[in-house]
Amino acid sequence: MADYFLSDVHLRLDEPRRGERLAALVDRLGPGDSLTVVGDLCDFWYAARQWRDDPMGCAGLRSLASFRDRGGPITILAGNHDAWLGPFYERTLGARFVPDVLDEEVQGLRVHLAHGHRLGAHTPWKTVLKSRAFLSAFRSVPAPLADALGARLRRSNLKNQEAFDRWGLEKYRRYADRLSGACDLVILGHVHSPLDTGSARPRLVVLGGWYAHSCYLVVEDGRASHVVEPAGD
């Protein structure tokens, strides 16, 4: 039996390789395993522009539904990109949806989980992604304009990602320090650069995003291993 944790896959139908790489991991899981997604399973673009399409057209979502059908439990925390998708995850994937932080014991480890966007590790404009009003408005934007805005956003993210990640990871280290004595393992997402502080107490693991890697944490026999694999796209 193993417990798996991942975050920031940002599934969207026009980026099929992300879903395929997620499926490659999930299809290996057995019914005795569990999977927790620490936010942003799906991208804002999916929630805003592709929500009417068949979700089973995405290999990642299809593999998650199959895992749940095999008896595997799925927990999904709300991220800043998919905070409105709780009912969809529950209905389509049979998942437990958690709107905020989660504290639980995993194979004898006291684990604290949070996506991280509420910890100050975000740029101010990203707060609009959490707004239902913005989501509704963006759904009605004509496709050419939405595509242009999406391309501009991707360019901005690429340009500023490294600086954002450095800034966010420093905030995460301070957050984990405040939890000293309360937990053994702090698992966070949102910042896409993976980090593992190893023997620190508590141990901080920033899972990492799935744009350039396939990243996950697995707890087996009471030991946690952080795995970062090249995307190979």
| Average pLDDT, 10 consecutive residues per value, the chain (233 residues) | 97 93 96 96 82 87 97 96 92 96 98 92 59 70 69 65 79 95 96 93 96 94 95 64
The whole-number pLDDT of residue 156 equals 62
Instruction: Identify the residue whose tokens are 């995993």.
Output: 106
**Rounded to the nearest 10 degrees, what angle do helices 16-26 and 59-69 cross at?**
20
Cis peptide before 202 (omega within 30 of 0): yes
Put the strands of the sheet holding 185-188 in their side by side order. Answer: 102-106, 109-114, 185-188, 203-206, 195-196
The pLDDT assigned to 48 comes to 73
Closest alpha carbon to 3 in 188, 195, 217: 217
What's the pLDDT score for residue 126? 60
Number of residues assigned to the chain: 233
Residue whose C-alpha is closest to residue 95's, from 57, 51, 39, 44: 39
Do β-strands 203-206 and 195-196 pair in parallel, antiparallel, or remain unpaired? antiparallel
pLDDT tens for 152-198 read 666 666 666 677 787 889 999 999 999 999 999 999 999 999 999 99
**What homologous superfamily is domain 2-230 in, according to CATH?**
Metallo-dependent phosphatases (3.60.21.10)
pLDDT at residue 125, rounded to an integer? 55
Closest CA to 26 of 55, 6, 53: 6
Which one-letter amino acid corresponds to residue 33? D
Domain locations in the chain? 2-230
Say if residues 45 and 95 touch (Cβ distance below 8 Å). no
Q: What is the pLDDT of residue 198?
A: 95
Which residues 6+ apart lie within 8 Å of 9 measured at CB?
18, 19, 22, 37, 40, 41, 42, 60, 209, 210
Angstrom distance (rounded) from CA 29 to CA 11:
19
